[in-house]
């Protein structure tokens, strides 16, 4: 059962998992989250040891009391057949005795979003079908969420997706991962402007009663597939927990390249459930608002402007899942107080006691683009090719390796192929487009390119419509009228 993070403390609204998935926004602008989590005892923990990834996931669902129809959960987990190794969708690579790289990018779009969006998509589709309802999902993307959402829902009969991306703001690979998706239930629109413009346009739509009424008149309901949807978070608990079981003697510290904090939230929940996780280390890029939050106890975006970096999936100032951490540790009224302060004053400060509590769970640091490129080059020489997001976590590893004897798990959130121009640049090449950069890196380091990336350049870009933000709502309504 889930509650509202900014809810009414006297009589909180409590919803089940299905409701939270289908209608992910809670009252007062909050999210749905568990208020507390059950803790595994030694016997239960031992039983989990020998399970396959799929069976392990089912046990976690049961343990957390998520009563999903077992056929629905089975079909959700069968989406891992689209991964390189369906039985072990996550790959763990040893670099040395203290450092392991956990690769979460072996799915269709080569970024970690697939780990959760693939099974989540199947659940949402099954629920929509069962209820005989049609859902519309709107996504604004800077490059990774869009492709993963389209892959998760393409060709579904009851869920429709509109994906907005900044016209000149993504890489060629990312754009092609969206514009080449050939399915009747998806629409991909390039927006004149940057990612902020796309995102603001989306927020205006979601707040527009006229738009919502027009959708209802056409018998569509709105849902969301971003990381505010708890249905995604649950799958992100699983891989952190599963990996920790591989280190029964010494436990793990988990280092997560973070933006909206969904991935790291999964690690935090896994620790609360009782898995042997020491610290969750938050790695950021130059948009280091989370570093300040964790190391100083102040969340401050007053003087900050968003910087464009080479790890764009982490270019975020308001990190949405911080809210679920606040709720779990400090409760709903305090969460509401802090986040209302962030909305109105663009800043909040934790009390000394709260700050200490955060420090019990988290550490944090950040990495500039230049440091990232140096790390990419250095680890490439050691035979470990990483993308710029993962590189931020390698910096954190080097900084925090000595805090404990636990194994350090660096979470790798994207394959290098998604950010080939930056990787080529790190390896000493000038500015190249995606196609040339892919070829250069593949040749220089004898690195394979996944077929799903390579084939993008042979496909037709069928979605080639670009629009001004003001034209979006009319376009969407016209489109759904034809469905
Ligand atoms: C989405 C994403 C992140 C950030 O993950 P959060 O859950 O938002 O913190 C990091 N790296 C890559 C490659 C991503 O796609």
pLDDT tens by residue, 269-294:
999 999 999 999 999 999 999 999 99
Mean of the per-residue pLDDT values for the chain? 94
| Confidence check: pLDDT of 439 > 90 | yes
Of 108, 114, 142, 144, the one to substitute when testing ligand 1's pocket (max ligand atoms within 8 A of C-beta) is 144
| Confidence check: pLDDT of 169 > 90 | no
In ligand 1, which atom is closest to the CA atom of 263? 7
Burial 312-342 (b: 16+ CB within 10 A, else e): bbbbbbebbbbbbbbbbbbebebbbebbeeb
In ligand 1, which atom is closest to the CA atom of 316? 8
Output the ligand 1 site: residues, CB below 6 A: 111-113, 144, 227, 257-264, 313-314, 389, 413-414
Question: Residue 195: which pLDDT band, with cuts at 50, 70 and 90?
Answer: confident
For residue range 58-117, what is the model confidence (pLDDT) as tens digits?
999 999 999 899 999 999 999 999 999 999 999 999 999 999 999 999 999 999 999 999
| Confidence check: pLDDT of 406 > 90 | yes
Q: Nearest Cα to 466, choosing from 169, 185, 183, 149?
A: 169
State percent of the chain over pLDDT 90: 86
Instruction: Please tell me the predicted confidence (pLDDT) of residue 13.
Output: 85
Token pair of 70 as six digits: 């077992």
Of 314, 372, 387, 392, the one to substitute when testing ligand 1's pocket (max ligand atoms within 8 A of C-beta) is 314
Residue 283 CA to ligand 1 center (angstroms) comes to: 11
Bridge partners (DSSP) of residue 282 are 256, 364
For residue range 328-360, what is the model confidence (pLDDT) as tens digits?
999 999 999 999 999 999 999 999 999 999 999
Instruction: Please tell me the predicted confidence (pLDDT) of residue 373.
Output: 98
Residue 264 CA to ligand 1 center (angstroms) comes to: 9
State percent of the chain over pLDDT 70: 100
Question: Residue 171: which pLDDT band, with cuts at 50, 70 and 90?
Answer: confident
The three-point CA angle 296-297-298 to 5° equals 95
The structure's pTM equals: 0.96
Instruction: Please tell me the predicted confidence (pLDDT) of residue 465.
Output: 94
Q: Do β-strands 159-166 and 186-191 pair in parallel, antiparallel, or remain unpaired? A: parallel
| Terminal Cα-to-Cα distance of the chain (whole angstroms) | 35
- CA-atom Rg of the chain in angstroms: 21
Cα separation of 361 and 384, whole Å?
A: 28
SS3 for 18-42 is HHHHHCCECHHHCEEECCCCCCCCH
Token pair of 144 as six digits: 């990774």
CB 116 within 8 A of CB 236: yes
For residue range 197-248, what is the model confidence (pLDDT) as tens digits?
888 888 888 888 899 999 999 999 988 888 789 999 999 999 999 999 999 9
| Confidence check: pLDDT of 11 > 90 | no
User: What is the H or E stretch that residue 100 is in?
Assistant: strand 99-103
CA atoms within 13 A on the CB side of 4: 18
With a CB cutoff of 8 Å and minimum separation 6, the contacts of 159 are 121, 124, 125, 128, 134, 135, 136, 137, 153, 185, 223
Question: Residue 194: which pLDDT band, with cuts at 50, 70 and 90?
Answer: confident
With a CB cutoff of 8 Å and minimum separation 6, the contacts of 340 are none
Of 151, 170, 171, 263, the one to substitute when testing ligand 1's pocket (max ligand atoms within 8 A of C-beta) is 263
- Segment 434-445 mean pLDDT: 97
| Confidence check: pLDDT of 161 > 90 | yes
Cα separation of 144 and 154, whole Å?
A: 16
Residue 313 CA to ligand 1 center (angstroms) comes to: 5
- Segment 320-324 mean pLDDT: 95
Residue 372 CA to ligand 1 center (angstroms) comes to: 16
Bridge partners (DSSP) of residue 160 are 136
Q: Nearest Cα to 419, choosing from 324, 308, 313, 323?
A: 313
Residue 169 CA to ligand 1 center (angstroms) comes to: 17
DSSP 105-116: --STTSBTHHHH
Q: Nearest Cα to 112, choosing from 20, 240, 213?
A: 240
How many of the other CB atoms lie within 10 Å of CB of 35? 16
Instruction: Please tell me the predicted confidence (pLDDT) of residue 144.
Output: 86
What is the number of H-type helices and E-type strands within the chain?
21, 16
With a CB cutoff of 8 Å and minimum separation 6, the contacts of 213 are none
Residue 397 CA to ligand 1 center (angstroms) comes to: 18
Nearest CA to ligand 1 atom 3: 313
Instruction: Please tell me the predicted confidence (pLDDT) of residue 441.
Output: 98
CB 58 within 8 A of CB 51: no
Instruction: Please tell me the predicted confidence (pLDDT) of residue 460.
Output: 96
In ligand 1, which atom is closest to the CA atom of 260? 8
CA distances (Å), 141 to each of 123, 147, 175, 202, in order? 22, 9, 10, 10
How many of the other CB atoms lie within 10 Å of CB of 253? 25
Residue 11 CA to ligand 1 center (angstroms) comes to: 35
- Segment 367-394 mean pLDDT: 98
């Amino acid at each position: 059962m889930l509650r509202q993070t900014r809810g009414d403390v006297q009589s909180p609204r409590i919803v089940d998992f299905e409701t939270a998935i289908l209608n992910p926004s809670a009252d007062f602008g909050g999210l749905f989250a568990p208020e507390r989590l059950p803790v595994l005892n030694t016997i239960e923990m031992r039983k989990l040891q020998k399970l396959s990834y799929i069976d392990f996931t089912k046990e976690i669902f049961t343990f957390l009391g998520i009563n999903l129809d077992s056929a629905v959960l089975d079909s959700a987990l069968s989406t891992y057949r689209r991964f390189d190794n369906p039985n072990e969708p996550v790959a763990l690579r040893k670099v040395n005795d203290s450092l392991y790289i956990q690769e979460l990018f072996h799915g269709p779009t080569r970024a970690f979003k697939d780990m959760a969006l693939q099974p989540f998509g199947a659940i949402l589709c099954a629920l929509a079908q069962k209820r005989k309802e049609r859902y519309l999902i709107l996504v604004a993307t800077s490059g990774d969420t869009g492709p993963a959402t389209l892959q998760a829902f393409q060709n579904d009969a009851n869920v429709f997706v509109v994906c907005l991306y900044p016209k000149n703001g993504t890489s060629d690979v990312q754009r092609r991962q969206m514009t080449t998706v050939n399915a009747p239930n998806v629409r991909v629109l390039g927006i004149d402007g940057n990612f902020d413009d796309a995102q603001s346009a989306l927020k205006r739509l979601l707040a527009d009663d006229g738009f919502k009424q027009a959708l209802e008149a056409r018998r569509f309901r709105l849902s969301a597939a971003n990381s505010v949807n708890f249905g995604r978070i649950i799958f992100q608990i699983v891989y952190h927990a599963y990996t920790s079981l591989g280190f029964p003697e010494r436990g793990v510290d988990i280092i997560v390249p973070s933006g909206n904090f969904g991935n790291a939230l999964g690690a935090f929940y896994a620790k609360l459930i009782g898995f042997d996780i020491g610290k969750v280390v938050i790695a950021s890029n130059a948009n280091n608002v989370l570093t300040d939050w964790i190391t100083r106890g102040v969340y401050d975006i007053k003087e900050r402007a968003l910087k464009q970096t080479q790890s764009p999936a982490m270019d975020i100032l308001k990190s949405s899942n911080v809210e679920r951490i606040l709720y779990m540790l400090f409760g709903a009224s305090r969460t509401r107080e802090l986040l209302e302060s962030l909305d109105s004053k663009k800043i909040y400060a934790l009390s000394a006691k709260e700050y200490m509590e955060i420090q019990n769970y988290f550490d944090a640091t950040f990495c500039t683009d230049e440091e990232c490129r140096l790390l990419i080059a250095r680890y490439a020489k050691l035979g470990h090719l990483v993308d710029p997001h993962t590189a931020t976590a390698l910096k954190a590893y080097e900084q925090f390796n000595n805090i404990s004897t636990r194994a350090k798990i660096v979470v790798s959130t994207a394959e290098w192929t998604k950010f080939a121009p930056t990787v080529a640049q790190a390896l000493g090449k000038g500015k190249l487009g995606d196609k040339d950069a892919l070829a250069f890196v593949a040749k220089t380091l004898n690195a394979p390119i996944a077929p799903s990336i390579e084939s993008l350049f042979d496909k037709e870009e069928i979605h080639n419509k670009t629009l001004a933000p003001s034209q979006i709502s009319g376009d969407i309504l016209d489109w759904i009228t034809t469905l």
